[in-house]
Amino acid sequence: MTVRVLASSTAVAVAAAEMVQERARQAVAEHGRFVFGLTGGRSPRALYRLLAQSPLREGMPWALTHVIWGDERCVPAEDAENNAHLATTLLLAQVPVPAGQIHRVPVEMPAAAAAVSYEETLRRVVFPDGVARSDVLLLGLGDDGHVASLFPGSPALAERQRWVVDVARTEGPDRVSLTFAAINEAGLVILQVCGEAKGRVLRRVLDGEDLPARRVAPRDGQVLWLVDEAAAAVLPPDLGG
């Protein structure tokens, strides 16, 4: 696990975008394609905008990029809460990723069926060799330490076989989420942490509390925490606090 402190939330987004581009090029050079796992929430927005603009836009191998999502809310595809809608608006509508390489969660189905269908797509189309290896997987850090839609106390945290599960929520729409069986096959997981409140959550993770984010530990990959100064201020001194 690497924690990198940057001066501002803008600098965090720039570092994330540059890292995505570096890994994308590397992935294409090594195995001919780039599998990019996207997230929702606020944390990826500036990154999506940067990737959609010059100069990063021109440096990305869009034609060889395959897009998947770490999680999704089961709301209509055009709803502002829909993670694919967010990514489409800010990024995918503006870059030449072939439509057939964008794999959305089928939110028109109930969550349980959508999870089964999404896993089937991932296994058949994106990862036919049976390993869910996204080259870069973006995740966000929830206020309660959740990542993707894997919340504290959820039985989904312990899932070892399925790559995708449905997650019932009492507050808000049901969700579909990758499990750690898939997340921890990623080559690189990037989490952007900005502001003091999120810094406090990261502190709990680094202190060893058994929060979902603590379980992000790719079997054969890396975790990169990109942290702004406001978040770093509440981390242990050797990490910028």
**Binding residues for ligand 6PG (CB under 6 A):** 39-43, 71, 83, 140-142, 146-149
Nearest residue (CB) to ligand 6PG, 40 versus 240: 40
Contact 72/33 with Cβ under 8 angstroms?
no
The Cα 145–Cα 60 span in angstroms is 31
Tokens of 198: 């999120």
Nearest residue (CB) to ligand 6PG, 28 versus 230: 230
Q: How far is the CB of 120 from ligand 6PG (least distance, A)?
A: 21
183-214 burial, b if ≥16 CB within 10 A, otherwise e? Answer: bbbbbbbbbbbbeeebbebbbebbeeeebbbb
Q: How far is the CB of 146 from ligand 6PG (least distance, A)?
A: 6
Nearest residue (CB) to ligand 6PG, 27 versus 201: 201
Nearest residue (CB) to ligand 6PG, 1 versus 64: 1
Q: How far is the CB of 178 from ligand 6PG (least distance, A)?
A: 10
Q: How far is the CB of 226 from ligand 6PG (least distance, A)?
A: 13
